[in-house]
Structure 1
Amino acid sequence: MTALLLFVGWCVLLVLSWPLALLALVLAPVVWLLALPFRLLGVAVDGVFALLRTVFMLPARLLGNRASPGGR
């Protein structure tokens, strides 16, 4: 259903404004290439935060700290 709506939307866009559709078709790879470094930076920052969380939680894991059944 989503693919059909996307196809119909693309056809309407192409009929109503074909220069805009062609521009979007040409610029999509350029935008993807420009966004790629930011995505890589996001993955790296997420990795650093995961490492920091693991390091800070290590003493509790070594001591065997478990959550109580009450959730506190």
Structure 2
Amino acid sequence: MRLFTGLVLWAILFVLCWPIAIILLLLYPLIWLLLLPFRLLGFGLTLSLSLIMAVFMLPFAVFR
């Protein structure tokens, strides 16, 4: 669904202002590479917080 939404938004941009849409299409891999460290950081942070929560919730799970 997210891919379809992005495609529809890009098509609307292409109809309204095609030069910006073409530039955006060409710059997309560069933008993806620039945002990759933040995605990895978010993934690591989510994993570490999930581990901490699991450790704190372990006694409740054992006694249930």
What is the identity percentage for the equivalent residue pairs of Structure 1 and Structure 2? 42
Offset at 1:31? 0.6
Does 2:45 correspond to 1:45?
yes
Residues 60/25 of structure 1: CA separation in 2 closer, same or farther (3 Å cut): same
Once superposed, what is the RMSD of the aligned Cα atoms?
2.3
Structure whose alpha-carbon radius of gyration is higher: 1
With a CA cutoff of 8 Å and minimum separation of 6, indicate the structure with the bigger relative contact order.
2
Query: Where does residue 57 of structure 1 map in the other structure?
Result: 57
In the alignment, structure 1 segments of 5+ residues that lack a partner are: 65-72
Q: How many residues align?
A: 59
Residues 23/39 of structure 1: CA separation in 2 closer, same or farther (3 Å cut): same
Q: Compute the TM-score of the two structures, normalised by the length of structure 2.
A: 0.72
Distance of 2:14 and 2:24 partners within structure 1: 13
Distance of 2:13 and 2:42 partners within structure 1: 31
Does 2:10 correspond to 1:12?
no
Residues 50/8 of structure 1: CA separation in 2 closer, same or farther (3 Å cut): closer
Amino acid at match of 2:31: V
Structure with more of its chain in helix, by fraction: 2
